[in-house]
Amino acid sequence: MSNDQNAPRLSFEFFPPKTPEGKTKLLKVREDLSELNPEFFSVTYGAGGSTRDNTKGIVTELRDQGIDVAPHLSFGGDTEDTIKELISEYQAAGVKRIVALRGDMPSGMGGSFQMVYANQLVAFIREHFGDHFELEVAAYPEIHPEAPSYDDDIRYLKGKFDAGANSAITQYFYSPDAFFYFMDQCQNAGITQPIYPGIMPILNYKNLVRFSDNCGADIPRWLRQRLESFGDDTASLQAFGLDLVTELCEVLLDNGAPGLHFYTMNQTEPTATIVRNLGLSGS
């Protein structure tokens, strides 16, 4: 892991594998990406805690290998006691960082599902575990799709920090101007904690559109047109995406972003090439 205090912070996100083959592949990807000296890896948590056991399994396995890993966590449909027990298990395993989220409503829960917001989860963790954990929360430069307004969403983010969060990781985006405007508005709201841009490499156009439509991330019209133009030429699309995302990262870092959080999709490439292109591999 990186020891250079002045280097931008790098972190890499995984989702919990569903099959033994997926797990074997993920552990190899983790080994490859560890060569880039990230501060930590994170492991996502399905809607309503639907991947809770898979998430815990991969987190504890990585911790057993001496890896700094941050589980994503939301209350989901679980009780406070269940979540407290899970956090206690993470603490006992040596986990020192948690990504605290509101989480998504699982399908089929309907009106019986009580949404608990991220600021409440942050406050809950601080109440029961003090300052043991570094707490990361989510931020939305292009604004959460359910937010009533831009200002409301900034206020919600400040509420997470006021509850005790240390820093935030953003939803991915492809417009640096959206991020810089967002950062200006956060500063105006009195937010001083670091906010790390989330970076989504471009691997597959249809998957990217599906992800983006689901989570409210914007793909600018010019970029949609360009990606569509590659058709089935995956190699050319990925080469274009590699250049585009590398340039995005350069602009962000050159203008003061404190680091980068990569949504790896459980793959070594193109994340590793982008990081090396940026000269951040520590090698």
Question: Which residues form the catalytic set?
Answer: 13
- Residue 38's contacts (CB-CB under 8 Å, 6 or more residues apart) are 1, 2, 10, 11, 12
Distances, alpha carbon 8 to alpha carbons 3, 99, 120, 164, 253, in Å: 11, 19, 29, 23, 8
Instruction: Tell me the sheet residues that pair with 136.
Output: 99, 167
103 close to 77: Cβ distance less than 8 angstroms: no
Can you tell me the distance from the alpha carbon of 98 to that of 87, in angstroms, rounded to the nearest whole number?
Answer: 9
